[in-house]
Amino acid sequence: PSALPTADRALNVLQRVWGYPAFRGVQGEIIEQVVEGGNALVLMPTGGGKSLCYQLPSLLRQGVGVVVSPLIALMKDQVDTLRQNGVRAAYLNSTLTAPEARAVEDALQRGELDLLYVAPERLLLPRTLDLLGSAPVALFAIDEAHCVSQWGHDFRPEYQQLGVLPQRFPHIPRVALTATADDRTRADMKSVLHLHDAPEFISSFDRPNIQYRVMLKSSPKTQLVEFIREEHGAGSAGGDAGIVYCLSRKSVEDTAKWLQAQGIAAVAYHAGLSPRERSHAQERFLNEEGLIVVATVAFGMGIDKPNVRFVAHLDLPKSMEGYYQETGRAGRDGLPSTAWMVYGLSDVVNVRRMLAQSDAPEDVKRVESAKLDALLTYCETAACRRQTLLSYFGETLREPCGNCDTCLTPPQARDMTREAQMALSAVVRTGNRFGAAHITDVLLGKETERIVALGHHQLPTFGVGTAHDDRTWRSVLRQLVSLGYLAADDHYGLNATPKSRALLKGETRLQLREDALIAQTSTRKKEK
Ligand code: ADP
Ligand code: ZN
Q: What's the rounded Cα separation, in Å, for the pair 386 and 211? A: 9
Angle at which helices 320-327 and 385-392 pack, to 10 degrees?
A: 120
pLDDT recorded at residue 490: 67
Burial of 274 (0-12, 13-18, 19+ CB in 10 A): exposed
pTM for this entry: 0.67
Q: What's the rounded Cα separation, in Å, for the pair 327 and 401? A: 17
Q: What's the rounded Cα separation, in Å, for the pair 316 and 247? A: 8
pLDDT recorded at residue 183: 78
Q: What's the rounded Cα separation, in Å, for the pair 444 and 470? A: 7
Q: In testing the pocket of ligand 1, which one of 11, 16, 20 has its CB within 8 Å of the most ligand atoms?
A: 20
Taking CA 29 as the corner, what is the angle to CA 24 and CA 33, rounded to the nearest 5 degrees? 140
Closest CA to 514 of 410, 423, 427, 444: 410
**Closest ligand to the CA of 384:** 2
pLDDT recorded at residue 524: 36
**Ramachandran area for residue 334 (φ above 0: left; ψ -120 to 50: alpha; else beta):** left
- The beta-strand segments (E) located in 314-359 are 337-343
Does ligand 1 lie within 6 Å of residue 48's CB atom?
yes
Q: How far is the CA of 20 from the centre of ligand 1 (A)?
A: 10
Closest CA to 242 of 254, 217, 258, 259: 259
Q: How far is the CA of 339 from the centre of ligand 2 (A)?
A: 13
What would the 3-class secondary structure string for 104-145 be? HHHHHHCCCCCEEEECHHHHCCHHHHHHHHHCCEEEEEECCH
- Which ligand 1 atom is the nearest neighbour of the CA of 143? 2
**Closest ligand to the CA of 378:** 2
Residue type, 480: L
Mean pLDDT of each 10-residue bin along the chain, 528 residues long: 82 93 90 96 86 97 96 87 95 94 95 96 95 95 92 82 94 92 85 93 90 93 95 71 95 96 94 93 92 91 84 92 90 93 87 82 77 86 90 82 94 89 96 94 96 95 93 86 81 88 91 57 34
Q: What's the rounded Cα separation, in Å, for the pair 527 and 524? A: 9
Count the neighbouring beta carbons within 10 Å of the beta carbon of residue 221: 16
Q: How far is C-alpha 436 from the chain's CA centre? A: 29
Angle at which helices 436-444 and 470-482 pack, to 10 degrees?
A: 130
Count the neighbouring beta carbons within 10 Å of the beta carbon of residue 288: 11
pLDDT recorded at residue 479: 84
Q: Specify which residues 40 forms β-bridges with.
A: 175
Does ligand 1 lie within 6 Å of residue 334's CB atom?
no
Nearest-CA residue for ligand 1 atom 15 is: 49
pLDDT recorded at residue 520: 34
pLDDT recorded at residue 518: 37
pLDDT recorded at residue 155: 84
pLDDT recorded at residue 79: 95
**Closest ligand to the CA of 339:** 2
Q: How far is the CA of 48 from the centre of ligand 1 (A)?
A: 6
Q: In testing the pocket of ligand 1, which one of 46, 52, 144 has its CB within 8 Å of the most ligand atoms?
A: 52
Does ligand 1 lie within 6 Å of residue 52's CB atom?
yes
The bridge status of strand 337-343 relative to strand 210-216 is: parallel
For this complex, say whether ipTM is above 0.95: yes
Let me know: does 424 contact 439? Beta carbons within 8 Å.
Answer: no
Q: What's the rounded Cα separation, in Å, for the pair 196 and 40? A: 10
pLDDT recorded at residue 237: 52
Q: How far is C-alpha 480 from the chain's CA centre? A: 25
Q: What's the rounded Cα separation, in Å, for the pair 340 and 228? A: 10
Count the neighbouring beta carbons within 10 Å of the beta carbon of residue 80: 11
pLDDT recorded at residue 153: 66
Let me know: does 45 contact 75? Beta carbons within 8 Å.
Answer: no
Let me know: does 181 contact 46? Beta carbons within 8 Å.
Answer: no
Nearest-CA residue for ligand 1 atom 12 is: 49
